Chain A
């Protein structure tokens, strides 16, 4: 096929993917509230945003939930990935794998609904927590659940969705990993935990990091599951934005979008710079190793 046509198709595709994001960025600096009128450059909407306490509160809640759910998701996802890759046979493996992949395809409305009903059932079963002794009371005082739904239930939901995504990322790294290094360590007398800590772990760190970032983003971004699981005092940023967006165009959303884009752009830039340096370092080390061997 004609390469000019190919370049045209690629250009159109990228334009389609990026123009909406760019319009948000440009519009966030628009003095006018109207989208089609350029009222001059202004930082007005950022000022409005900075004074909006609901937005600030929601942002910090979202960040907190995303941090903890991504961490839990990566830990559980690592275990699940190891179970899938390293144990070709165990009881219920097919069910396990189906369960693990389910959150990737089940629509969010269903995940949200089922988790909410589950938490409501637990709340109903437990009743007043004080009767169940000091442990559950402590739990309630720390996490707010089962007294009311909120940060804890959202965290649990995000962790279970994120676990599936983390497992996919880590699994693919484990599959392509060279097992002979672990076997060598084993032969040289390493205990299983030492093998993991000294040999396996350093090799999967990049996968763990990207899984963490991915699940963090998923949690930061989630509207539907969160809306089901949140309580009266726990509005996350996406739920807040969804509420505003349903009412129509709102310039403060553009400002939020621009800040997000800026953060993502910085992170991607830093990430690629790091990867680039790392690759250079590895190449230099390999070259040095070959030199020594000669």
Chain B
């Protein structure tokens, strides 16, 4: 081993506690306050109660606990609805005030990253329209999707740095009768789960200590505008984002490391929809098989729409080719709901997941057949017109 490599490994073995005064980037919030003082924007403040966390360069970030406006994810709501219902179920368990709006569009960022059939002004206008809609209600945006979160942070940078873009977006918003509003912080739901993790652990009903999990940190959470992601010297020595890993550890799950943790999942935005040979190959060869060979986890956990979809759905075709796959994939919110005893099908909606999740439930002692039968009765009642659907009254009660 060369001296240079030894030096790097030595440096990497030390926990990092960065000094915000030496941050390599400008704190964008200072410019936001200046723009607010000039009357250029309305800045929506993080409501109390909030928790302060440390981000990559040692700055603090405020994460609201309640009075939140849930900016839903189209991929989660459309194809993994148990992701969304788990986030809401957790809020309801703690009796937190939140809003599930119908005055919301997706960020349209998935399409932008997939096809570029849009432009900077349109993307910024879509974002600010949503933020203005949240501001009108008095609730603070909590972003469910990792791509929306990253995309919005990048647009915020562009709006702050380019007056011409602000002016053009303001012209469009005037047509809608809406002001140019930006939130003081852009907050991802997994950051809310992160700050709630000890309260969730206090109400844990299902022992998960026999589980080994791998974590896939979502690219658009911590690579785009990297300084906004949560870091903690106690998690990976502060050298990787602490989000998700800290939550799993708080719930007693052993988090195992693997060599390709930095790799993306293979989603590709365009690829997952129309060129999945790339997606499948990358997800299986670089992520799932690597995890399987190196640590053989009981599950892998992530915190974004595309990652759950890609890592879960890519395993079927690989199995047909006798690849070493078969790792259930869940979001951190679903794991937290499982720990607190949520119904596996009414709330967590395991049946929308493709990779076999039954061994996972059996390992933690959950008789999934019993709950599946219960859920089948729900479906029969819906089919027979005896009820319109499942309500929170039927789903709120922890059952595990």
A is bound by B: no
